A and B are shown apart, each in its own frame.
Chain A
Amino acid sequence: MTDLLPLIVAKYNYWLYVILMMIGLYAMIAKNNLIKKLVGMNIFQTAIILFYVSIGYKTDATIPIIQNAHGGGSHGAVIHAADYINPLPHVLMLTAIVVSVATFGVAMALAVRIYQRYQTLEEDELRMRLIDIGPEE
């Protein structure tokens, strides 16, 4: 236990992201309502975003926008890598956010379609309805 504590403190971001991800994954697997599953999906993807953004962080560094770039006469001033945080994870996560929004939109459209047809979004009720329709397989 004494070993574990400093380990957690030094990397608490990563521990938090794992917990958040577990919550999302659990909702996706175990919840009965399709919308709750969708919310779980969003939490799951947000956890991954937290993870990536944590990778990019550096202590004592600022956002990756070069200061005084135009004007101020500092053209050609040396840029120190240690002053700025890593821009790459941010770029990747912009992409991942967009992908997750798009997935969420499509999933919502599907949920609307299902609701139009069956008037319910509870999985067990949907399963009963499917049996009512009759065996197609």
Chain B
Amino acid sequence: MAGNQLPAIRHVLPLTTVRLERKLPSPGNVTVRVREKVQPADVVAEVQPPAKHYFLDLAAGLGIPEAAVARYLRVEPGAPVEMGQVIAGPVGIARRTMRAPANGKVLTLSRGRALFEALEEPYQIHAGVPGVVVASDGTTALTIETTGALVEGTWGNGRRGWGVMRVIGEGASDRLHTTQLDVNLRGAVLLAGVCDNAAPLHQATELAVRGLILGSLTAELIPIALRMGYPILLTEGFGTAPMNRVTYDLLNSNAGREASLEATLLEPYSRQLPEVIIPLPATSRLSSPERAIQLAPGVRVRCMRAPHIGTVGTIRHLIPKAEGFPSGILARSALVELEGTGPVSIPLSNLEVLG
């Protein structure tokens, strides 16, 4: 047992229970109830965008001393006011007044000024997957539970999308070309091999694709990928490594089904990984993905580093003593039966469990 190693785990599961947490970017209003069924396009929350604040200089506007401002305030702090509504005054013969510059509210008075909060139109958050709401705090987060296939990725561009998944190219190592992208793919979630060229990313925008799942993307395309309006999810990482066989086969076998892409941008200590969810019906209660799996004989792993990057295999046994590698580094390792290669010693640090 590699008792002191808790490897990363990447779930590639054909059918499981998936819990998807929807965190609101700022406090808002969760519009669904716990145990309520939702469809991908359903609105599950409304979020108030960050309000814009203004200081309204009431003392100067009304021509009165700072100390007298409170006396002329015509609205209660915190109470909603409409654009153009008188909020202070009238003062003097000219009956000077101050009016609200927008729909909003006066928050407080400070040195003869009113701090005014202009309200913005709320925007909506959609469920993104069909499922059941299983948790909600009413204002900042909710959790939707669904069943289906789950593929966790390594990187996402911070977008999310939903659509019918279509396979393009010849396989997991095929490079994405503009010639493969035609009008028939409009509105689809695309599954492809690798991308080392910006042109297909731009063309996908023109086709209004709903998402792109790749094995790898060259790192020089990161700034472009981040600008794309549709979600891009990588299963391997940066470079030209093909998508690992297990992941590709699972996604390929679900071509034609609807898929949800959560191409979450990775942040240190973030709990949400980039993932693809393909909702599927379940006839019985399914368990949730395991949180941690120790490296041990029989465990299926994926190699994260050259020379076997992206290759999947099964641990034969853990090597008791540190192994030497061509780089000169000594590391605790496992003998892994790699698909298509045979038994290979790989450092434990370079393995992640394919759950």
Say whether A associates with B: no
